[in-house]
Chain A
């Protein structure tokens, strides 16, 4: 019944036969479908192809083959249109040391052509939401990793994206900062936004994800809700960690 309800929702992101090869196939014929208003976690061992997949979706890498559709827009044919409704955030917050958070948000809003009055209002909301008021007009050069990540997250949200792509956004954050980031993401999903996120913190995926995809050797080896994944491994009632390790071990044995 739950599956029927999901398939009726609009598709936010779809990849078909997506492939990318470096010295070996990094992403191999990947079909991925993520629905609007969904929190999707992409899990996998190191080098599985998670980051490569997300970088292709964000427009940072050109795939060798396949298609990417974001909210009905062909992201390869019309990247500018697709980027207008997308946000990307990596584990290493890349912000400008010599700008303040406030100036950084103004810069991002300018790049996304957001009306200055709307952008200013959103920036102030985000700054308050993420607890950045005290540092809003300080240059970012002295900020901690957590504060920098919060600034980068505010930058990712200031243009109100429909699809938020996050690559290990919680790496290196303290508990308080991680909680704030998770809350903000959950709020976005509640408001109808879509989040696709990679993480090695399985507890986060377990608690936050509507659906989980497990990727290994560039291919999707399992997908579904936590319960569906448990059923697949035949280990009902186990933790996501056990389920994940069983899936990866099965894949390794099959390879």
Chain B
């Protein structure tokens, strides 16, 4: 029996909440889905191991005597992973700040708020470390299997990276809080998290485009410029890479650094966490006054009213904006590639088209969920004197309209170089967006927009179908842009996916 109000007791409480939250995220709240979720996780693990084998098996024999190329590759991969972890940790810290949840209970109880918040920060760190372990495990397993157990040291490096990412996220978020205030921190932190998550990938891709004219990140890491400008072998920069390669001293230093930084962050920030969270909770219930040029009601059709509503709600929600921004950010490298292509007059746009089509499909899936499933006033819309078909049509138009608006500049720019390429891109973008929207219609649920984060767990079939559909349409567009008749093959696969989705869609109430 653990004594009440001790650190261990609070940790057990947080662990239980965290576990149930994760379980609910995996099973979407349905008990019958637990088995399906377990099967899906096993399939995912097998897939990840196969993918990892294909990707890293060739590097398993690398060791401390390997040259700078290996060190750069490992360090680059670790940095890439760390940027994603930092992004995830910032998202978690921001969410912890702005969720009122049990704040009143904690702050009105005789328990030490500092102790509770210290444990809560520990939970964020544990979550970040667990996620990093989960994603890295398949790669480390493959490396250990092929190159020896020394690779298991990488688990220690990954755990330390998770701890450092949480410490940095706490410091960054609290610094933002003090710098710009509670009102703006949420928006800025969420956008920063999205940018940090994408920045490293995008940076490398942009570098690769300029150095090799491709979207390959590996090309950038292997470039001669990079090798020439790296520090010497004894530099501290290589410490994490050395630890991953089985240097036990380096591993001890890395793990210790992670633990010390996290402990320091918890000790420093736990005292003020409650105050900040209280201020943030006050802000979330604050007043936002909306100004309009004209207050007169406008004459519009119900469809137009519905479309306008969707666009207004989307543009007014900073969290949703940051989530969609993440996907749009990945369009930056293709945009740069487009610019480089246009400048050089080469035909590299064929590489660009599938990337953009894929991004359009994924973005449309998110927007379609928000518009079709994430309706905050379903009763109002359902009791309006508008046929349900027209309501659905208006929502689809809102999604496709938004996609067209976002991707139009890229299509226009491509048209300057190749009208045919631009037409293929336009067709690909609209088809992929339409297909993703159709999948969301088939699997629509009644939810609130604030549940957007959990949309991918509400139906895994929809998530996978959406991803595979986007990939198939991207392949179709790429082959069509290259003028190949084989474009029909992935198009057939994409249509088959849509037919399959229609066949297995749940019965709508």
Contacts and interface: CB of A to CB of B under 8 A. Distances in A.
Interface residues of A, number: 41
Interface residues of B, number: 37
B297 A98 contact: no
A91 to B, nearest CB: 11
Query: Which 4 pairs across A and B sit closest by C-beta, in order of nearness?
Result: A110-B305, A116-B297, A111-B384, A83-B385
Given A98-B316, A107-B309, A137-B289, A120 B296 contact: yes
B251 interface: no
B287 interface: yes
Interface string B341-384: 00000000000000000000000000000000000111111111
Contacts of A100: 290
Interface string A112-137: 11011101100100000000000101
Nearest to A89: B379
Nearest to B309: A107
B313 A117 contact: no
B110 interface: no
B35 interface: no
Nearest to A144: B285
Contact of B376 (A84, A97, A112): A97
Contacts of A97: 376
Given A116-B299, A142-B287, A98 B383 contact: no
B108 interface: no
Chain B interface mostly = loop
Nearest to B282: A142
B300 interface: yes
Contacts of A119: 297
A102 B296 CA distance: 10
Interface in A164-207: none
Interface of B: 284-292, 295-302, 304-306, 309, 312-313, 316-317, 376-387
A142 B285 contact: yes
Contacts of A94: 376-380
A13 interface: no
A220 interface: no
B290 to A, nearest CB: 5
B324 to A, nearest CB: 15
A137 B291 contact: yes
Given A59-B382, A111-B305, A138 B289 contact: yes
B211 to A, nearest CB: 44
B288 A138 contact: yes
A108 interface: yes
Contact of A83 (B292, B304, B384): B384
Contact of A138 (B287, B306, B387): B287
Contacts of B387: 80
